[in-house]
Structure 1
């Protein structure tokens, strides 16, 4: 890849641009807010403005509900030969792109699984995606060249390309990203009821579990509402777990005798053990291998 355009110079878009510039790719930066684009350019992420000729690949780095409109506009303007996006939802942009009449042969959905709780170009860095999965969701319409360019983008950012179906991706990120963010936010919201003397006792554990809550509320409203069903389904099960634990704790306070206490402590212990077991299933992060000149073709799933 010799040239690219990044549409949307927030945290993710600017981080991608910085990674590409570090690999010698010419990058054009486009943003509805010129100041944001200039801030990214000042970091060395590329040059501000539309290229005179189509670039190899355009990266649409805007919130999920704006992907289709941005794709349609920039395909009409012949910004690039192929297009990808980095939205954390994949079914909605694909469906809306089809409804908007976008050229689906030159578009492949993408989602780099890396980020930070901060937002904006000043929070970006070119190593944000090192060793992280980068999901690609080609449709039955996507041409091979578009998939190859999107995969090359991921490899240039030293990420690990993973091909998934749109719905499979959305269910996966509901579990691994969207629900954790919402749970972190809900817990952090309870701190509004805390007394200053109580909050003064907070340690690193509370900082860790509420770190995600510092993310942009507007962006996360867009993300969660775009994946509403999958998130809601998981929250129902989570709420049932909370109810069981709360019930066990209440009954422990009024348990009559060791047998009753054992029943309720066993329920509490079971919840904690399941937590230990679940956390152990999270894969250990490993560095991505360096990109190689020759690449085997990526299989494009049909009927997605």
Structure 2
């Protein structure tokens, strides 16, 4: 009857179905790979955007900090030249350098760099603004001192020239003045037994010291104790006082009554001029001088003149 082999009796798989399954699998794998590749690219783009933002914030913040550093250094240099206090600026500079160092080390881990450093930058800028106001005052003060020194120098030079010119003009009459001076009865001349220099503070307190501190010395009192002399004519006496600084120059201020006088044929400058009454009973007289400026350190000489005679010499020292 039908002679069929066993192979012919076994059913064969459908080749088309297998191919379809393989194609579906390949499509699924390709889709996953495409999705994974897309996600990877999107993540990389986001990371790059974050990096770019941080770099921009870092650069902008660093530029501001460097600018503040430059301004701080300029202010420190100017304040030092003008003699002001730079301690606050020096502290700010140290803190600023520390902030710049931390910014360089930690920028990669910092979130919102601009916000983190905004308050610090404002604080540094406020310090610069405050110090600039002080600088304006320092500049004005130094300008005033420069003008004052220039005026004093001109007065000193003018006084020196005046004395030299007067000396030259009086050479011809110096011998005549000497003769006239010798004719004055020296026996009738006043003489100072002692001349004391007493310091007076800005508050009016009197004190005596071997060496006066310049900042403590407001004005001075020149206490003159006279000798009794029955030959001296009683009445008003005009007293001239010369105060010589450590360099030998007379302290001179026309507004305080300083001027020139003749002594032994020479034209000399005096510091103050005062009147006193001599009655041969009250033999003490006080004279006050307010220079209105600090005294330089050194030894000062005080000379007292009246009626053409030098009646005594004293002095004081400033440290």
TM-score (norm 1): 0.18
Larger radius of gyration: 2
Which has more strand, going by share of residues? 2
